[in-house]
Chains A and B, each alone.
Chain A
Amino acid sequence: MRKCSFALLFVALLVVLSMGTAFAAEDVIKIGTLFPLTGPCALAGQRCQAAVETAVEVINNAHPEINVPGAAAEGVLGGKKFVLVHADHQGKPDVAKSEAERLIDQEGVYAIIGSYNSSCTKPASFVAERKQKLFMCGCSSSAALTKRDLNRFFRLAPTDETESLEFVEFIKYLNETKSAGIETVGLIYENTEFGKHAAEEGKAAAEAAGLKVVADVAFNPGATNLNSEVQTLKAADPDAVFGACLGGDYTLWVRTMKQMDWLPDVALNYCTGYQDPIIAKQLEADGDFFMGGTGYSPEFAELMPAVAAVEKIYMTKTDPSVPFDSDCIQEAIATLILAQAMEMAGTTDYDAVLKVLHETQFDSPMSLGGKVVFAPGGQNLKAMSILTQLQGGSYKRIYPLDLADTEPVVPMVAWGSR
């Protein structure tokens, strides 16, 4: 009799627990994050993850002080909370693929947000498409990602193609108004999916504008030195250089140019180490006068006032505490847009949410463009960046002219004169 009572109690307990889980499951929406949390791009990956966590905090809790759609409410669809499941792809495409499969098959996530490296976003988003899940991509910049006609892939950031066209347009402006005399271009880029695509786009844009590409320098990321690379650039002596060097490679590139006492007139960078405020600070005066496309910087506060309150939360999640950068803010926006789409669809049903994502113009006060509209293939048509130049360690807006707050310093000040 006693045994029987225990058995009944045990069964009852299991039933209660499983019901609890079932109820809990209905109240949460699992979202997978997939970033390089270890490996050479770990710094950027961890910041991207912190940005998604920040967005989820805004979505899950009532924040009436934040001027972002959905921030005032608690959760989505009447109180459902986002729960994050984190995964690390280490910067390796094969790991990204298997981790995307794990997130979908084993963790049962509703959507994946990621994956920073274009080379990892590519296979991971294929997995999501095959398994009919959403993939929200914040900052992977390879233009090829949105030329695959995927139906469930959405990318927020501008592409390398957009940035390359901006670079060339800026050079034209310099030549026409400042008699800069820029006629030749050199490319230096890491030999990865991101770097190669950026270089291809840069080359195409430069040649289309009548600029001559005189150096095409690919290097292996994480190299012990960049002496041959910079020596090759120096020998070709291009007037302008388009750079796609991430993290530690960016600092090595800058310092090797200093060591070799060489600089082009203009150095324009894709989304790279240039945008990392910590690297910019650490390089001190050596980092000055480099330029690049920037989607966000604290110096843009007057253009994007809604960011400040969200940024406060983000800064509590990073160590050392740093503001948003151009890359990670896009991951936060991707998460917020997903929540907005669910709210507009009024359901978590995939087809309904997908329809909203494809057909809606979203308000996005955290985006430089202010709005988000996805083209077929998933590219955000309203994505934009501003060309900035580091001057005195500060990102100064230099182009387009209507958004500029400072005159560009061209040619760059020589190493010996700083």
Chain B
Amino acid sequence: MVTFLQVALDGILSGLLYALIAAGLSLIWGVMDVINFAHGEFLMVAMYLSYWLGFLWKVDPLISWIASGVFAFLVGALTYKLIIRHTIGKSAMAALLATFGLSMFLKNVCLYVFSPNFRILNDTFLGGKTFSVGGVIFSLPQLATSLFSLCVVALVYLLIKKTRLGWAIQATAMDKEAAELMGINTEWIYVLVFGLGGACVGIAGGLLPSYLATFPDVGGLFSLLAFVCVAMGGFGSIPGALFAAILIGLVEAFSGFYVAPVFKYVAVFGLYLVVVFWRPRGLFGW
């Protein structure tokens, strides 16, 4: 029973991390219909910022997530202004290929500047700390990341659903021309959405170095799993992305432990195929 609970806990904690990464992607995808291929690289860049803050000035990830979030917000907003804006109204492939190019650019810049070294942050406030409840071990860095994730996802959801800004974002997502006729500055909304998407993944990136090595390729699988969360949860649905992310975390953990570790991604992507086949718009899709 303890093992079962441990596996379930690991799955939920992993899922909550995926949810934070997926929330930003879902926002961008849902509002702008743009697939941001550089999402994993936003995560990687934010991890590097957090790592260097920790390594050079001993800033703990529990604080540097703020800097990483703000930085990734700026990276996202700039990405929109300099790249995505020029692809709006053109073929969907244009934005996709542009962000793919950006992902290659960011990855190779980091490879050149920081080298492919695996960078590990030691002596973090929560690093390596655990506590046990009835034999089930809670890892503090992962638990903290998950709680942050829940809070950020809830805040983004409230922002979209309960504020005038959120309504403007929803209006822009539904009908850009109509939103403009209502006086909404859609250009500003797009900048904000891309920035917010970046900030979500930036916060995740800021927290991750407390237990994960930072290197140029670290974002690859995270971004792939985030795509699956968004597509499974429903395009543009933050609760959908959260639900799908936790589901993916649980499937990954249970199939990894009870079937075979090497099978875990087979189960995750298999589930994704089943959901997309059964409900192409995703579980909570509009």
Binding site for B on A (CB under 8 A): 38-40, 42-43, 45-46, 191, 217-220, 222-229, 231-232, 235, 247-248, 251-252, 255, 258-261, 273, 276, 278-279, 282-284, 286, 319-320
Q: Is B3 an interface residue (CB 8 A)?
A: yes
Complexed CA–CA distance, A232 and B142 (Å): 19
CB pair A222–B220 under 8 Å, yes or no, is: yes
Q: Which residues of B contact A258 (CB under 8 A)?
A: 128
Complexed CA–CA distance, A251 and B116 (Å): 15
Q: What would be 22 A-B contacts, judged by CB atoms less than 8 Å apart?
A: A38-B108, A42-B116, A42-B217, A43-B117, A46-B115, A220-B262, A220-B265, A222-B217, A223-B221, A224-B221, A224-B225, A227-B253, A228-B7, A228-B10, A247-B118, A247-B215, A248-B215, A251-B213, A255-B128, A259-B128, A259-B137, A259-B139
Q: Is B82 an interface residue (CB 8 A)?
A: no
Complexed CA–CA distance, A191 and B262 (Å): 8
Q: Which residues of B contact A284 (CB under 8 A)?
A: 122
Q: Is B76 an interface residue (CB 8 A)?
A: no
Complexed CA–CA distance, A38 and B262 (Å): 24
Q: Is B26 an interface residue (CB 8 A)?
A: no
Complexed CA–CA distance, A224 and B3 (Å): 21
Interface string of B196-233 (1 = CB under 8 A from A): 00000000000000011101111011100100000000
Q: Which 5 A-B pairs have the closest CB atoms?
A: A228-B256, A42-B116, A43-B116, A282-B120, A218-B262
Given A223-B221, A248-B118, A261-B130, does the pair A217, B261 have CB atoms closer than 8 Å?
A: yes
* B contact face: mostly helix, strand, loop, or mixed: helix
Closest to B265 in A: A220
Q: Which residues of A contact B252 (CB under 8 A)?
A: 228
Q: Which residues of A contact B107 (CB under 8 A)?
A: 38
Interface residue ranges of B6-45 to A (CB < 8 Å): 6-7, 10, 14, 17-18
CB pair B257–A228 under 8 Å, yes or no, is: yes
Q: How large is the interface on B (under 10, 10 to 19, 20 to 34, 35 or more residues)?
A: 35 or more
CB pair A235–B221 under 8 Å, yes or no, is: no
Q: Which residues of B contact A220 (CB under 8 A)?
A: 262, 265
* A contact face: mostly helix, strand, loop, or mixed: helix
Complexed CA–CA distance, A225 and B222 (Å): 10
CB pair A283–B261 under 8 Å, yes or no, is: no
Closest to B118 in A: A248
User: With A43-B116, A259-B139, A259-B142 given, can you name 20 additional A-B contacts, CB distance below 8 Å?
Assistant: A38-B108, A40-B217, A46-B116, A219-B262, A224-B14, A224-B18, A224-B225, A228-B7, A228-B253, A228-B257, A231-B256, A232-B257, A247-B215, A251-B118, A255-B128, A259-B137, A259-B211, A278-B117, A282-B119, A286-B128
Closest to B225 in A: A224
Complexed CA–CA distance, A247 and B215 (Å): 10
Q: Which residues of B contact A227 (CB under 8 A)?
A: 7, 10, 14, 253, 256
Q: Which residues of B contact A226 (CB under 8 A)?
A: 261
Given A231-B7, A231-B257, does the pair A251, B115 have CB atoms closer than 8 Å?
A: no
Closest to B104 in A: A38
Complexed CA–CA distance, A38 and B109 (Å): 11
Q: Is B56 an interface residue (CB 8 A)?
A: no
Complexed CA–CA distance, A219 and B212 (Å): 17
Complexed CA–CA distance, A135 and B218 (Å): 32
Q: Which residues of B contact A259 (CB under 8 A)?
A: 128, 130, 137, 139, 142, 211
Q: Is B133 an interface residue (CB 8 A)?
A: no
Q: Which residues of A contact B142 (CB under 8 A)?
A: 259
Q: Which residues of A contact B265 (CB under 8 A)?
A: 220
